[in-house]
Amino acid sequence: MKTAITEMFGIEHPIIQGGMHYVGFAEMAAAVSNAGGLGIITALTQKSPADLANEIARCKDMTDKPIGVNLTFLPVVNAPDYPGYVKAIIEGGVSVVETAGNNPVQVLPVLKDAGIKVIHKCTAVRHALKAQSIGCDAVSVDGFECGGHPGEDDVPNMILLPRAADELEIPFVSSGGQADGRSLVASLAMGASGMNMGTRFIATKEAPVHQNVKEAIVAASELDTRLVMRPLRNTERVMTNAAVERLLEKERELGSDIKFEDIIQEVAGVYPRIMMEGEMDAGAWSCGMVAGLIHDIPTCKELIDRIMKEAEDIISNRLAGMLSGKVPA
């Protein structure tokens, strides 16, 4: 299947594995890229630019296909060494950078000069238009269903994707709620040139996370995520657990007086304990509503091949049959 995204990134299938904290290691990215998608290493999971350089090199040893790196710009007092991370990305021969968080305008010139394509994650059409205006090559449009930070507008993808298609001139991919061939065909129908999957890729054999995490996603339904940190206007969709319910109770009790310090135990520094050690009640961890559509733990190749087969069947048989007058089963 050829789309603007497959052509831009030099990949076989229009499927991207989004950057995920303590998930986007070399093993994950290489498995997705080897399966024909675009695998992405998460830069800030690496503690330093030197560590990122090593992770990129490890990934390059595992695949000769295009890989990407996620670089998230956080609103923090002590910012990471962003110039160092950018240098590691360029010197590592990475072909795509997925930016997220704050406006990436400060790094665009050096990335573009190095021939790197930039796709920026956006939760609103106005943000996508801004990304287009500053020179991003593509955007990932994240609907309200997504795991992680869905923004504060609460617009789901059935509305957000067609709105993006109406306004944007650059290609975009769907993100949030993406899991299978149905997701891909629906995204293409609404104007996207591919899809970005996060939660679905955690539940794969190659995902370098504890088995407890994978099994929690498979066991969950679409009703098992919660929105936390809404009062702080830093909304995050996470999997429910004891720590998350405790956090929500603090939000109810403290109301508008709540501060980040009040919930730091539930949200700060918990990812290694959850993702690496499998302590499922250690704190809040990002998970999309799409968990309700995830019922197995395949390899990345099995997953991507299945998605593409399903998509082709829907387009060539079910939809084409409707046009020819056949009533679908």
User: Are 218 and 111 within one domain?
Assistant: no
Report d(CA 246, CA 254) in Å as an integer. Answer: 12
Q: Of 160, 180, 208, which residue is a domain's last?
A: 208
- Domain housing 227: 212-289
Position 34 scores a pLDDT of 98
Beta strands in 66-191 (DSSP E): 67-73, 96-101, 117-122, 138-142, 172-175
Condensed to tens digits (0 to 9), the pLDDT of residues 32-43 reads: 999 999 999 999
User: Are 100 and 32 within one domain?
Assistant: yes
Position 75 scores a pLDDT of 76
User: Are 189 and 225 within one domain?
Assistant: no
User: Are 192 and 263 within one domain?
Assistant: no
Average pLDDT over residues 53-57: 98
Position 169 scores a pLDDT of 98
User: Are 203 and 230 within one domain?
Assistant: no
Q: Which residues pair with 100 in a beta bridge?
A: 72
Question: Does 148 map to a domain?
Answer: yes
User: Are 259 and 145 within one domain?
Assistant: no
Position 233 scores a pLDDT of 93
pTM: 0.96
User: Are 135 and 247 within one domain?
Assistant: no
Condensed to tens digits (0 to 9), the pLDDT of residues 69-113 reads: 999 998 777 889 999 999 999 999 999 999 999 999 999 999 999
Residue 323 CB neighbour total at 10 angstroms: 7
Position 291 scores a pLDDT of 98
User: Are 200 and 223 within one domain?
Assistant: no
What contacts 252, CB < 8 A, 6 or more positions away? none
User: Could you give the number of structural domains in the chain?
Assistant: 2
User: Are 25 and 169 within one domain?
Assistant: yes
Number of H helices, E strands in the chain: 15, 10
16 HSE (CA, 13 A, CB side): 36
Question: Does 328 map to a domain?
Answer: no
Position 326 scores a pLDDT of 79
Condensed to tens digits (0 to 9), the pLDDT of residues 137-170 reads: 999 999 999 999 999 999 999 999 999 999 999 9
Position 258 scores a pLDDT of 96
CA–CA distances in Å: residue 75 to residues 27, 79, 141, 234, 287: 29, 8, 21, 11, 22
CB 100 within 8 A of CB 133: no
Q: Of 273, 289, 305, which residue is a domain's last?
A: 289
Q: Of 191, 208, 225, which residue is a domain's last?
A: 208
Structure tokens at 13: 């299938």
Position 78 scores a pLDDT of 83
Question: Does 38 map to a domain?
Answer: yes
Provide the pLDDT confidence category of residue 327 given band limits of 50, 70 and 90: confident
Condensed to tens digits (0 to 9), the pLDDT of residues 271-307 reads: 999 999 999 999 999 999 999 999 999 999 999 999 9
What contacts 87, CB < 8 A, 6 or more positions away? 49
Question: Does 295 map to a domain?
Answer: no
pLDDT > 80? residue 328:
no
175 HSE (CA, 13 A, CB side): 32
CATH classification at residue 204: 3.20.20.70
pLDDT > 80? residue 329:
no
User: Are 246 and 285 within one domain?
Assistant: yes
327 or 64, greater pLDDT: 64
Question: Does 216 map to a domain?
Answer: yes
User: Are 196 and 233 within one domain?
Assistant: no
Condensed to tens digits (0 to 9), the pLDDT of residues 212-252 reads: 999 999 999 999 999 999 999 999 999 999 999 999 999 99
User: Are 218 and 282 within one domain?
Assistant: yes
Average pLDDT over residues 101-128: 97
Structure tokens at 119: 């796709």
Beta strands in 102-244 (DSSP E): 117-122, 138-142, 172-175, 195-197, 225-228, 236-239
Question: Does 228 map to a domain?
Answer: yes
Question: Does 314 map to a domain?
Answer: no
Question: Does 303 map to a domain?
Answer: no
Average pLDDT over residues 180-187: 98
